[in-house]
Amino acid sequence: MPQVKVDRRKIDRIDLKILTILQQNARITNKELAEQAGLSARPCLERVRRLMAAGYVRSLNAILEPAKFGNPVTIYAHIALATQERRLGERFEAVISRVEEAVECFEVSGDVDYLARFICPSLDIYYRITASLLENAQIGVRRIDSTIVLRTVTPWRGLPASILQKSLD
């Protein structure tokens, strides 16, 4: 792929339309994308490359259906560390980023330090993961409160239009 010069200007309404379309269907052909965005193919492709190079698009990937893979369990873990020491947090973050089943992790405010989403083949696997986190004195996990997802009511739909529109202001 040729190098694309990163344009530092704000995105415009056409960029926003392209991002909205890609967020809903990343498999769309450039020709179809261009038609829906009201452009010809070449300028559309250049805009997509510019948006990607500027970091507006993290990646174009498939969202898999968990139920097709043996119905794994999704758990949200509220994780509290023993202290607020920055080095302890950095060690925890290094460890959690290597746990394959920890598909997302956020540093949060409130009674806990982190909120992690795990997708595991079974509760037993999740139990083993949390036990190893609690037993690892180097990362200082004090407590893990778990919330097991019973069913998904609203799946991830992408960034809300109000967030995208804000970028035009």
| Model confidence band, residue 9 (pLDDT cutoffs 50, 70, 90) | low
Are 70 and 124 part of one and the same domain?
A: yes
**Same domain (yes/no): 109, 72:** yes
Same domain, 72 and 144: yes
- Predicted confidence at residue 156, as pLDDT, reads 87
**Looking at the chain, which runs of residues are DSSP E strands?**
73-81, 102-107, 114-120, 141-148
Alpha-carbon distance of 120 to 48, in angstroms, equals 35
Of 95, 80, 84, 89, the closest CA to residue 143 belongs to 80
Do 84 and 101 lie in one domain? The reply is: yes
Helical axes 30-37 vs 41-53, angle rounded to 10°: 100
Q: What is the CATH number of the domain that holds 119?
A: 3.30.70.920
Task: Please check whether residue 40 lies inside any domain of the structure.
Answer: yes
Burial (CB count <10 Å: 0-12, 13-18, 19+), residue 17: middle
Decide if 169 is inside a domain.
no
- The pLDDT tens digits for 51-105 are 999 999 998 888 888 889 998 999 999 999 999 999 999 999 999 999 999 999 9
- What is the Cα–Cα distance from 85 to 83, expressed in whole angstroms? 5
Predicted TM-score (pTM) of the model is: 0.81
One domain for residues 139 and 88: yes
Sign of the C-alpha dihedral computed for residues 75, 158, 28 and 3 taken in this order: negative
> 166 or 28, which is more confident?
28
pLDDT in tens, 136-169: 999 999 999 999 999 999 988 888 988 888 777 6
Residue 87 belongs to what domain range? 66-148
Structure-model confidence comparison of residues 164 and 5, the more confident one:
164
User: How many secondary structure helices (H) and strands (E) does the chain include?
Assistant: 6, 4
In a domain, 163, yes or no: no
Task: Answer whether residue 7 shows pLDDT above 60.
Answer: no
Q: How far apart are CA 97 and CA 31, in angstroms?
A: 38
In a shared domain, residues 53 and 109: no
